[in-house]
Amino acid sequence: MFNNTQPGPPATMMAALHTMAEHSKALPPGTNLDLYFAQLMRENHRAAVSMSALELQQGHDPELLRIAQDIYHAHQQLVWGLDSAIERIQAQPPTYHDHTTQSERLSRLLEAATAGLHPAAHRNIAKVEAGPDSLNHHHTPKQEDGGTGSIDHDYAALLVPHHQNSITLARAELELGRDEPLQRAAYFILRDQQREIEQVQVWLTQHPRQGK
């Protein structure tokens, strides 16, 4: 089960994404783009931890619970690692100047990635991943935030766009970042989250959501 020393899980999967979007939007890009990447990625991983905690508390499918357990622990470790990276960068600001074409391009990539953090983006992609009945087209976004009635399907369907956003952020850091430890972390994030996407996509294929 999830670590009881951590904050309790959110009320719904979408609530975790709303929190991620709000916290990410509040982050100032500043001039240190590696720091901005680390802060955005930390919010992303915190959301994965929250979503997995809710699945572990209320989910039913044994295979998905196993996946959620692995994701919970892996992403909590990543949060702690990003905490350390952020402290390191803030304590020792880099000597390079960010007013370059490269840094401007990274800034644009990160800003584009933050658009994918918005819960509406996750909601729309989840409809494709889990089928048209996964989130009722006749419901308002507020009603859809309550989910489908199946925590398992909500978790699997929303985890795909959530992780796709992480991959976008990681690719931006790999291509244009300058902090070597963060670039190494980005490589493993990209690799591991692609694998996690594949796992939940297999589960979604094997467990199609039935219409209401």
Per-residue pLDDT tens for 154-206? 999 999 989 988 898 898 888 888 899 999 999 999 999 999 999 999 999 99
Res 80 pLDDT > 80 = yes
Q: Report the candidate in 191, 190, 196, 185 with the shortest Cα–Cα distance to residue 158.
A: 196
Confidence (pLDDT) at 33: 81
Q: Are 23 and 43 in contact (CB under 8 A)?
A: yes
Report in angstroms the alpha-carbon separations of 34 from 40, 121, 170. Answer: 10, 25, 11
Separate counts of helices (H) and strands (E) for the chain: 8, 0
Residue 147: band (very low, low, confident or very high) from pLDDT cuts 50, 70, 90: low
Q: Report the candidate in 115, 201, 121 with the shortest Cα–Cα distance to residue 157.
A: 201
Tokens matching residue 159: 């985890």
- What is the C-alpha to C-alpha distance for residues 86 and 90, in angstroms, rounded to an integer? 6
φ/ψ of residue 143, rounded to 5: -65, -40
Q: Read off the pTM.
A: 0.80
Confidence (pLDDT) at 104: 64
Look up the CATH number of domain 13-206: 1.20.1260.10
- What is the C-alpha to C-alpha distance for residues 69 and 73, in angstroms, rounded to an integer? 6
- What is the C-alpha to C-alpha distance for residues 123 and 15, in angstroms, rounded to an integer? 12
Res 209 pLDDT > 80 = no
Q: Are 81 and 185 in contact (CB under 8 A)?
A: yes
Average pLDDT, the chain: 79
Cα 65 → chain centroid:
18
User: Any idea of the CA torsion for 72, 77, 80, 86, to the nearest 10 degrees?
Assistant: -110
For the chain, percent of residues with pLDDT exceeding 90: 44
User: Any idea of the CA torsion for 151, 126, 196, 55, to the nearest 10 degrees?
Assistant: -10
